[in-house]
Amino acid sequence: MYPQNPHDGSGFMDSPAQTIDVSRYINLIRRRLLPIIGFSIIVTVLAFFSAMAITPKYQAVATLLIEEQESNVIPIQEVYGIPMGSRNYLSTQFEVLKSRELARRVVRDLNLINEPEFNPLHPKNLDSFSLKKIILVTLFGEPEFDEEDAMDATVGRFWSAVTIRPISGTQLVHIIVTSQSPDLARRAANRMAEGYIESQLEAKIGLTQQAASWLTERLSELKGNLDDSEARLQAFRESNNLVDVSGVGTMVSREIDNTTSLLGQARAKRVDLESTYRQIKALPSYSYDNLSTIPSILNNHVVASLKGEETKAELSVSELGKRYGPMHPKMIAAQSDLDAVRQSMLTQMRRVTQTIESEYLAARSKEQALEQSLASAKDSARDINRVEFTLKELEREVNTNRTLYDTFYERMSETKATGDMQSANARVVDPAVLPGGPSWPNRKLIILFAFAASLGLGVGVVILRDYLDATVKNAEDVDRKLRSPMLGLLPLVKIASKQSEEEAEKAAATAFTDETQTGFAESVRTLRTSITLTGLENPAQVILVTSSVPGEGKTTTACNIAEAFGQMEKVLLIDADMRRPTMAKKLGLEPGKPGLSNAVAYPDTIQDSIQTVEGLNIDVMSAGPIPPNPLELLASKKFREILESLRGQYQRIIIDSAPVHAVSDALYLSTVTDGVVYVVKADDTRDKLAVGGIERLRGSNARILGVVLNQVDVEREAKYGGSYAGYYDNYGYSTQS
Over the stretch 447-471, which tens digit does the pLDDT of each residue have? 899 889 988 898 888 878 777 777 8
**Residue 702 near residue 672, CB atoms below 8 Å:** no
CATH classification of 470-731, choosing from 3.40.50.1820, 3.40.50.720, 3.30.420.40, 3.40.50.300?
3.40.50.300
pLDDT of residue 118: 83
Residue 57 DSSP class: B
The tens digit of pLDDT for each residue in 119-164 reads 887 777 766 555 555 665 565 556 666 678 888 888 888 888 898 8
Q: What is the mean pLDDT of residues 361-387?
A: 76
Q: What percent of the chain has pLDDT over 70?
A: 80
pLDDT in tens, 213-237: 776 777 777 777 777 877 877 777 6
Mean pLDDT of 173-187: 89
Query: Which pLDDT score is estimated for 17?
Result: 44
In this prediction, residue 676 has a pLDDT band, given cuts at 50, 70 and 90, of very high
- Residue 515 DSSP SS3: coil
Closest CA to 384 of 249, 227, 187: 249
The pLDDT assigned to 650 comes to 94
DSSP string, 189-209: HHHHHHHHHHHHHHHHHHHHH
Per the model's pLDDT, the better-predicted residue between 121 and 61 turns out to be 61
Supply the pLDDT for residue 481. Answer: 82
**Euclidean distance between CA atoms 198 and 37, whole angstroms:** 58
User: Is it the case that residue 178 has pLDDT exceeding 70?
Assistant: yes
Q: Of the given ranges (99-113, 355-369, 626-640), which has the lowest mean pLDDT?
A: 355-369
DSSP 8-state assignment for residue 498: T
How far apart are the C-alpha atoms of 489 and 724, rounded to whole Å?
A: 10
* 563-to-257, 336, 612 alpha-carbon distances in Å: 153, 202, 12
**Is residue 581 within 8 Å of 626, Cβ to Cβ?**
yes
Q: Is the pLDDT of residue 410 over 90?
A: no
- CA atoms of 339 and 360, how far apart (whole Å): 31
Q: Decide: 33 and 444 in contact? Cβ < 8 Å.
A: no
Which sequence spans correspond to the domains of the chain? 22-50+441-466, 245-380, 470-731
pLDDT above 80: residue 44: yes
List the Cα angle 174/179/184 in 5-degree steps.
85
Residue 139 is predicted with a pLDDT of 55
Weakest-pLDDT range from 3-12, 107-116, 207-216, 292-301: 3-12
Rounded to 10 deg, the angle between the 100-110 and 147-160 helix axes is: 110
Across the range 575-592, mean pLDDT stands at 87
> Residue 16: which pLDDT band, with cuts at 50, 70 and 90?
very low
Beta-carbon count within 10 A of 49 CB: 10
705 closest CA partner among 539, 500, 467: 539
Per-residue pLDDT, 94: 82
pLDDT at residue 257, as a whole number: 77
Separation between Cα atoms, residue 629 and residue 631, nearest integer Å: 6
The CATH number of the structural domain formed by 245-380 is: 1.10.287
Edge-to-edge order in the sheet of strand 426-430? 162-166, 172-179, 58-66, 426-430
578 exposed, middle or buried (CB, 10 Å; 0-12, 13-18, 19+)?
Answer: buried
Task: List the beta bridge partners of residue 376.
Answer: none
Sheet with strand 618-621: strands edge to edge: 486-491, 704-712, 675-681, 542-547, 652-656, 571-575, 618-621, 611-613
Residues 6+ apart with CB under 8 A from 419: 205, 208, 209, 212
Per-residue pLDDT for 680 more than 90? yes
Q: Which has the closest alpha carbon to 92: 166, 37, 177, 191?
A: 166
From CA 72, how far away is CA 205, in angstroms rounded?
12
372: left (phi over 0), alpha (psi -120 to 50) or beta: alpha
Whether the predicted pLDDT of 302 surpasses 60: yes
What distance, in Å, lies between the first and last C-alpha atoms of the chain?
Answer: 26
